[in-house]
């Protein structure tokens, strides 16, 4: 791996708590940067813009400061179209404790220095990501549906929401309800969305074909590796679906 501006200092810092997997970081960042992917995060690491810790098995673990740093980089790329060499030079100066160079577009609030981030305490812990948000209550989903309990019932009826015996729903159910409400405003009802559920189940089966052998491996870290691979494949499938939908909407070009 190519050393970068954060490399040496990050290698010396102690491992803070809590630490997030690359999949958890991706889930958190995609709320603001929908196009970010596993390969993008790995590329930023290779360029030295972030240096996550590694477990003894070699898996990446990101601290809250790492996530903050990634947000900083992605924001400058998206909002100011800055090249990574410019962002890298800025971060290198921040990590040295030096005055960073001026950035096109005006000043920004820099992320914490890498060495300063080593002493972060529990009061600076990151908010739970999608994987740790817990389960959703029916009242919360009805509120997201604009008070329309019938929408939640219809989503359940057509297999788009799964309620547990305890009466709760997966954390992602909130996103399902939000999307369904937006689609309902255009006359698209839950009954029209059943093919999406079927497609999702088939895609989940594809992911399972790949990760099942990984879970069965006896070596340490196999479970974490299976989870990471599963999230990566799911991300690729989502991007493929989006590209195919855009292509279908555009239609053939002469």
What is the average pLDDT across 89-115? 84
The per-residue pLDDT for 129 is 36
Domain that holds residue 205: 195-254
* C-beta of residue 129 within 8 angstroms of C-beta of residue 43: no
Query: In sequence order, what E strands does 114-249 have?
Result: 136-137, 168-169
- Take residue 194 and report the two structure tokens written for it: 């059943």
* C-beta of residue 114 within 8 angstroms of C-beta of residue 132: no
Confidence of residue 151 (pLDDT cuts 50, 70, 90): very high
Highest mean pLDDT among 159-163, 214-218, 236-240: 159-163
For residues 36 and 126, state if they share a domain: yes
Tell me how many domains the chain contains: 3
* C-beta of residue 152 within 8 angstroms of C-beta of residue 142: yes
Quick: pLDDT tens for 159-215.
Answer: 999 888 888 888 778 888 888 988 998 999 999 999 988 988 898 899 899 888 887
188, 205, 228 — which closes off a domain?
A: 188
Helix axes 222-250, 194-216, angle to 10 degrees: 150
Place of tokens 């690491």: 45
pLDDT of residue 7 exceeding 70, the answer is no
The per-residue pLDDT for 134 is 55
What is the average pLDDT across 106-111? 84
The per-residue pLDDT for 187 is 93
Q: Is residue 57 part of a domain?
A: yes
Confidence of residue 46 (pLDDT cuts 50, 70, 90): confident
Confidence of residue 67 (pLDDT cuts 50, 70, 90): very high
What is the average pLDDT across 21-40? 88
Confidence (pTM): 0.47
Of the candidates 68, 14, 74, the residue with the CA atom closest to the CA atom of residue 43 = 74
Distance in angstroms (rounded) separating the CA atoms of residues 46 and 48: 5
For residues 120 and 145, state if they share a domain: no
Distance in angstroms (rounded) separating the CA atoms of residues 179 and 145: 10
What is the average pLDDT across 237-253? 81
Highest mean pLDDT among 28-42, 125-139, 206-220: 28-42
- Take residue 218 and report the two structure tokens written for it: 């006896």
The CATH number for 79's domain is 1.10.1660.10
Across the chain, mean pLDDT equals 79
Q: Is residue 143 part of a domain?
A: yes
For residues 32 and 69, state if they share a domain: yes
The per-residue pLDDT for 125 is 36
Place of tokens 């990101």: 62
For residues 14 and 124, state if they share a domain: yes
């Amino acid at each position: 791996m190519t050393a970068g501006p954060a490399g040496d200092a990050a290698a010396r810092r102690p491992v803070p708590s809590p630490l997030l997997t690359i999949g958890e970081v991706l889930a958190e960042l995609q709320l603001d940067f929908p196009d970010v992917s596993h390969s993008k995060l790995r590329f930023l690491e290779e360029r030295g813009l972030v240096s996550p810790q590694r477990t003894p098995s070699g898996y990446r673990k990101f601290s809250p400061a790492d996530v903050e740093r990634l947000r900083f980089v992605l924001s400058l790329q998206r909002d100011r179209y800055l090249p990574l060499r410019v962002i890298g030079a800025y971060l290198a100066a921040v990590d040295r404790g030096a005055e960073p160079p001026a950035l096109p577009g005006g000043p920004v609030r820099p992320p914490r220095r890498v060495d300063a981030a080593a002493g972060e305490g529990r009061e600076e812990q990151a908010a739970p990501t999608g994987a740790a948000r817990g389960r959703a209550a029916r009242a919360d989903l009805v509120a997201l549906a604009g008070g329309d309990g019938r929408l939640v019932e219809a989503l359940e009826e057509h297999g788009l929401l799964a309620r547990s015996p305890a009466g709760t729903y997966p954390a992602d159910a909130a996103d399902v309800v939000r999307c369904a409400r937006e689609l309902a405003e255009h006359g698209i009802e839950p009954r029209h969305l059943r093919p999406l559920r079927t497609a999702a189940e088939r895609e989940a089966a594809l992911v399972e074909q790949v990760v099942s052998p990984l879970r069965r491996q006896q070596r340490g870290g196999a479970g974490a590796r299976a989870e990471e691979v599963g999230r990566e494949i799911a991300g690729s499938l989502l991007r493929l679906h989006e590209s195919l939908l855009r292509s279908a909407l555009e239609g053939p070009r002469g």
